[in-house]
Structure 1
Amino acid sequence: MERRALLGLLRALGPEDWAKPTVCPGWDVHDVVGHVLNDYMRRLSGSRDGHPGAVFAGDDTLPTYLARTNDEFVRASRQLSPQLLMDLLEHLGPQLDAVWSTRDLYAPADLDVSWAASDLPSPAWLDIGREYTEFWVHQQQIRDAVSRPGADEPELMAPVLDIFARALPAALQEHTRPAGTAVHLEVSGPSGGRWTAVRQADRWRLGTPERKPYAHVSMDQDTFWRLATRGIPIESARKRSQSSGDRELADAVTELFAVVG
């Protein structure tokens, strides 16, 4: 469904739309679409075909490796027409779907989701979910650039917010509190929800609180996904949020970051 919405959007764009700048520094709409194509190809090459360089190679850290290879592919993809980019997405997308559909969702992931603060290795379902969030966010960046909102129905957006909320324990990890301390994150809107991080003996985990939360933070769904991807600054997210309780913990919630960085 997300890909169908993306392709429907792209087919409706004029030549001038493909050249509009996005929030991704130095990238226009054409570049973002090329980057999504790179993601498809890299995961097919690595997860389906076992090609190691398609996922991670060399002495780089993962963020520096991805930054370099993403830039290399985007530069190369500028020679491809919008029509060819759409054709390739339409052709390769179902192949990627087929790869995910055969995976044991609880087997170790191909790529750990470091920001989720879960036990490593990450489960495959979290890796697949993380990939979905990237595709959805890039579609939103394109929609913002061309002023065409959409793809925000709960069936498309709610899974994104749920995956991003997995970063809540990591956002709190520098703050030690007594075992059982709970922090609530509430996201309003049709796709929103409520998540709780609970302090255990040595770490925070998502869970069910047994007592009143020490801190509560609420924000709308648009603010949350933009905060999680740094589409808006932390201070802007705080101005658009409401919080109560332990100020240090509440501020930590609004520093939540759900991408590789």
Structure 2
Amino acid sequence: MTKTDTRSKAEPRRSALDREVAIRLAATEYGRFLDMLRSLSPEDWTLPTDCPAWDVRQMAAHCLGMAELAASPEEGARQNEVAHRRGGVFIDALTGLQVEERGNMTPEELIQRYAEVGPLAAQCRRETPAEVLAMTMPGVQIVNGEQEHWVLGFLVDTILTRDTWMHRVDTARATGRDLVLTPEHDGAIVADVVAEWAGRHGMPHTLVLTGPAGGRWSRGDGPELELDAVEFCRVLSGRGHGDGLLGVEVPF
């Protein structure tokens, strides 16, 4: 199947979320990830996750590092500079740095620091000026095997929340903890993913996603797909195999 992005190739990707909605989702997701960390037993922190390089503690260290990046322009600039100096795939260098620098933190220290940083990250994201959000990020992103540009607002308003949300899913799967899902929060995140997915392939379809975060979407007279809403997002993120339209990647 040919993966088709309906945007102009020259146009950088922007967040489709209303800013107030984006910040509400960010603040709620930081709180829910913190609640997940607080629910873990001592044994949970060493369990493997769907990210093969990370156990639960290392995943939490990455999420803390990303929240600290979002909470402080100075810290964000520092992390970006160090990661760029390391070379290679930038996102791998950045997340590797975040895990490495927090490698000696205990679970209790990770939880305490995340509780401090989460609200600051949401506030800093809210206060990012519109002209900064509109700036095109340096470098290119590779999605579905093709290069694309993002404005900073796509990272700030969309990707940072999707990243935390998906790692909350990862942590729940690794530890067997309950995954809190509501239509108002998780349903809004999933609906945004669905809209981007549909725009990226541009093909007729009917999509039925089950569970509290699910819903029904259709475009033209196309094949009907039905699966759990969280699993849909996992597949699009590369955590599962998807054929046909489910093989269209969406970044998290």
- TM-score scaled by length of structure 2: 0.72
Q: Which moved more, 1:215-224 or 1:138-147?
A: 215-224
Structure 2: runs of 5+ lacking an equivalent: 1-27
Distance 1:184 1:50, change over 3 A: same
Could you tell me which residue of structure 1 aligns to residue 193 of structure 2? 164
- Quote the Cα distance in structure 2 between the aligned partners of 1:90 and 1:26: 25
Identity of aligned pairs, percent? 20
Find 1:41's aligned residue among 68, 72, 88: 68
Structure number having the greater helix percentage? 2
Could you tell me which residue of structure 2 aligns to residue 108 of structure 1? 134
Partner-residue secondary structure (3-state), 2:209: strand
Query: Is the CA contact (8 Å cut-off) linking 1:104 and 1:124 kept in structure 2?
Result: no
Give, in angstroms, the shift of residue 2 of structure 1. Answer: 2.4
List aligned pairs for 1:109-258, cutoff 5 A: 111=137, 115=143, 121-122=150-151, 124=153, 127-165=156-194, 166-170=196-200, 172=201, 182-196=204-218, 209=219, 212-234=220-242, 251-258=243-250
Find 2:123's aligned residue among 76, 98, 101: 98
Find 1:51's aligned residue among 77, 82, 95: 77
Query: Is the CA contact (8 Å cut-off) linking 1:130 and 1:163 kept in structure 2?
Result: no
* Letter aligned with residue 184 of structure 1: T
**Could you say what the CA RMSD is over the residues aligned between the two structures, in angstroms?**
3.2
- Quote the Cα distance in structure 2 between the aligned partners of 1:214 and 1:143: 34
- TM-score scaled by length of structure 1: 0.70
Could you tell me which residue of structure 2 aligns to residue 238 of structure 1? none
* Letter aligned with residue 22 of structure 1: T
Distance 1:121 1:233, change over 3 A: closer
Partner-residue secondary structure (3-state), 1:187: strand
* Letter aligned with residue 91 of structure 1: E
Partner-residue secondary structure (3-state), 1:186: strand
Give, in angstroms, the shift of residue 7 of structure 1. Answer: 2.2
Give, in angstroms, the shift of residue 32 of structure 1. Answer: 0.5
- Quote the Cα distance in structure 1 between the aligned partners of 2:86 and 2:43: 40
Query: Is the CA contact (8 Å cut-off) linking 2:58 and 2:99 kept in structure 1?
Result: yes
- Quote the Cα distance in structure 1 between the aligned partners of 2:241 and 2:135: 31
Radius of gyration: which is bigger?
Answer: 1
Give, in angstroms, the shift of residue 69 of structure 1. Answer: 2.6
Query: Is the CA contact (8 Å cut-off) linking 2:72 and 2:124 kept in structure 1?
Result: no
Find 2:55's aligned residue among 18, 28, 41: 28
Instruction: Kindly indicate whether residue 94 of structure 2 is the aligned counterpart of residue 69 of structure 1.
Output: yes
Partner-residue secondary structure (3-state), 1:190: coil
Give, in angstroms, the shift of residue 131 of structure 1. Answer: 1.1
Partner-residue secondary structure (3-state), 1:51: helix
Distance 1:231 1:128, change over 3 A: same
Structure 1: runs of 5+ lacking an equivalent: 174-180, 197-208, 235-250
